[in-house]
Copies of this chain bind each other. A is one copy, B any other.
Amino acid sequence: MNKPKVVILGAGYGGLTTTVKLQKKLGVNDAHITLVNKHDYHYESTWLHETAAGTLHHDRGRYAIKDVINSGKVDFVQDTVTAIKPDENKVILENGELDYDYLVVALGFEAATFGIPGLIENAFTIGSVNQSRLIRQHIEYNFAKYNNESEKNESRLNIVVGGGGFTGIEFLGELADRVPQLCKEYDIDRNLVRIINVEAMPSILPGFDPQLVEYAMNSLESRGVEFKLGAMLKECKPDGIVIEKDGEQEEIATNTTVWAAGVRANHLVEESSLEHNRGKVEVKPDLRAPSHENVFVVGDCALIWNKETDRPYPPTAQIAMQEADVCAHNLATLVKGGGDLESFEFNNQGTVASLGHGDAIGVIFGNKKLFGWSASVMKKVIDNRALLKVGGIGLVLKKGKFNIF
């Protein structure tokens, strides 16, 4: 009756998918599985930019963990991990500790602020339900204040998004849709509001096809988004930012800076004794940590090299869920006493970036470019696929996106 103990840290895309796959592969007597997560719900972190803009309610993008796990096979512990001790086969929680035979580290990302002064204190990041609905309320609060002040304060209306990558662009698309609604709500002239993107690179959406990038910029600019490309964020203050472009500094008044220009792995990985490469574990093909063979790492904490591009795969939900498949298979194999472990191979199912309601750009089937309405529909298909994979058709019907017109 000495069942192996499997502990899974994090119920994001990687951890929760691993859990639901594993519970299907193992019988109740095969292992003692424990899932640890800070909240009692899972959220679709790729939908959070919509919550932050106020275009999708956060309850549409989250569901109770107990609704998708089999409580006969998995214990759920709602707690916050404070340390990973792989040399002791132990995990420290805020309210206790757990020991394990096998560990899955799926603790996701946090914002990387690159030491820019004031960013941690004054900028928002789109990293959780709590943070996203705070951004939504922060923007709305500033709009509500505007007409209550006799001296008009433009920093209440200007919104700065740092970073023209995937999240930044998707957030800009939602903001461009949302701002006219906010203007109507608070009797504010739309022309007084600036939505500004600051990106250090000369172009947005690195790695995307130039034709699609141009489409995205046109779509956003036509709805009032301003781009400051090749511009470095030098400082973030409570009521403004300083940027530098072509050697010249410019100050932009804003109470709302949303930083979407970089993520890193959860800091607990770096603080542990796991061997890591700039905070991420460069996992073996079977997704185990090279330094600790009973520890699997999936999702944004794992580093896997893409040999085609000679760069690491970016941290995406798609990869995290594919890794979870392999992780669950390999864990089940080990728990049951051995056999061949699978190697992870990324199967690119395409990438679509939303630009707001009814508009998007993307690439599917390897090289098929999509934009506009068809890309927008494909985006919703992708969003629904994540629900399907974890919670089946029932969850898709409950939380899925079907507003394709």
Contacts and interface: CB of A to CB of B under 8 A. Distances in A.
A332 B140 CA distance: 46
B137 A133 contact: no
Interface string A139-150: 011001101100
B148 A144 contact: no
A55 interface: no
A141 B137 contact: yes
Given A133-B185, A140-B141, 10 more contacts: A133-B144, A134-B144, A134-B145, A137-B137, A137-B140, A137-B141, A137-B144, A138-B141, A138-B144, A141-B141
Nearest to A136: B144
Interface residues of A, number: 16
A272 interface: no
A130 interface: yes
Contacts of A138: 141, 144
- Tallying the copies of this chain within the complex gives 2
A346 interface: no
Contacts of A145: 134, 137
A402 interface: no
A153 interface: no
Interface string A113-147: 00000000000000000110110111011001101
A186 interface: yes
Nearest to A57: B185
A133 B187 CA distance: 11
Interface string A306-348: 0000000000000000000000000000000000000000000
Contacts of A144: 133-134, 136-138
Nearest to A41: B187
Contacts of A133: 144, 185-186
A136 B145 CA distance: 11
7 contacts: A130-B148, A133-B144, A133-B186, A137-B141, A137-B144, A138-B144, A140-B141
Interface string A161-188: 0000000000000000000000001110
Contact of A147 (B130, B140, B185): B130
A144 B140 CA distance: 12
- Residue of A141, A145, A185 with highest tally of chain B CB at under 10 A: A141
Contacts of A141: 137-138, 140-141
Nearest to A58: B185
Ranked nearest first, the 6 interchain pairs of A and B with the lowest CB-CB distance are A137-B144, A141-B141, A134-B144, A137-B141, A130-B147, A130-B148
A187 B145 CA distance: 25
A137 B141 CA distance: 5
Contacts of A147: 130
Interface in A355-394: none
A155 to B, nearest CB: 16
A258 to B, nearest CB: 14
